Amino acid sequence: MWLLSVLLPLLRLYLCGVKVLIYQMFNKSFTLPGRMEGWPLWGGTRGMGYETARHLASLGMHVIIAGNEKEEGAAAVRRIKEEGCERKAEFVYIDLTSLKSVRNFAQAFKQRRLPLHVLVNNAGTMMVPERNTEDGFEFHFELNYLGHFLLTNLLLDTLKRSGRGGCCSRIINMSSATHYAGVIHMDDLNRRICYSSHGAYSQSKLALVLFTYYLQEQMMAGGFLVIANAVDPGMVDTALYDNLWSLAQAMKKPVAKILFRTPAEGASISVYAAAASEMEGVGGCYLYNGEKMQSSPPSYDSELQAELWKKSCELVGL
């Protein structure tokens, strides 16, 4: 039982990784189209988050970088401003592993009465040893999924009001190919029975896709000018892999130099979903390499989507 619970998620996840690397070996990374328009809220002080914020700010957008590293956030804002952007960039603190912090951030943002045209849920971690957040949730589950779930719902009214004149507000959730290996354990979302960092990570990424599709259905049913999409950046050379085992780290370094994408290349798909004119009004998609792709079969299970949504609302107190 223990062996299957730990070994099977590991094999599934690494198999996904191999498939992605083979794809990237024979396919060029997605390149952005011409000038795009929008006005985003973005979370990211480094890696793909920073690259997305930098690119969107270069289009003349007001960028709010939300994260839990104050010094990194200040440095990111400074670098963006040094590039001579037309509008401002700023950093606001948020800790997605704390529901209290998420609520404080949302309340402070709404008090400013700013419009919110794009929300990119980018923050994430991978392969963290078993640990709980201050709220008592498994670390991957709250940071990668539950914190984003709460933040999105708290800002949903602002997103609805901001969508007007035929232009939809946009929600972009950062998933990955590892969601194909994900299994949702509704009776054990925190992985208490038998912990696997591989299983916990892939579950959190599948949860994001399920959340995206259910949210899109709600927005369509209500006639709101809000769209939600999930994006997959491919395998990108970022600090996300810092928690790999020593042997895996050693094997990853030479492979990453050849086959992994740069943070800027990985960020392209988020920028595309956030600002491309051809994505106007197009929601409920799983985007990879600039194309709409089929996500995993479980991600289209409407009953599972609804069950996860209801349970998530209970967990965060909505």
Give catalytic status of residue 195 as yes or no.
Answer: no
Among 50, 145, 180, 201, the one annotated catalytic: 201
Q: Which two tokens stand for residue 43?
A: 């979370």
**Contacts (Cβ under 8 Å, ≥6 apart) of 82:** none
Residue 152 burial by Cβ neighbours in a 10 Å radius (0-12, 13-18, 19+)? buried
Residue 171 burial by Cβ neighbours in a 10 Å radius (0-12, 13-18, 19+)? buried
Q: Which two tokens stand for residue 253?
A: 């370094």
Phi, psi torsion values for 169, nearest 5 degrees: -75, 155
Provide the CA 14 distance to its chain's centre, in angstroms. Answer: 20
Bridge partner residues of 227 (DSSP):
170
Provide the CA 146 distance to its chain's centre, in angstroms. Answer: 11
Calpha distance 180→290 (Å, rounded) = 19
Q: What are the angstrom distances between the C-alpha of 120 and each of 42, 169, 182, 199?
A: 5, 11, 22, 24
**Contacts (Cβ under 8 Å, ≥6 apart) of 119:** 40, 41, 151, 152, 155, 159, 169, 170, 171, 172
Contact of 200 with 286, CB cutoff 8 Å: no
Contact of 106 with 133, CB cutoff 8 Å: no
**Contacts (Cβ under 8 Å, ≥6 apart) of 248:** none
**Which positions are catalytic?**
201
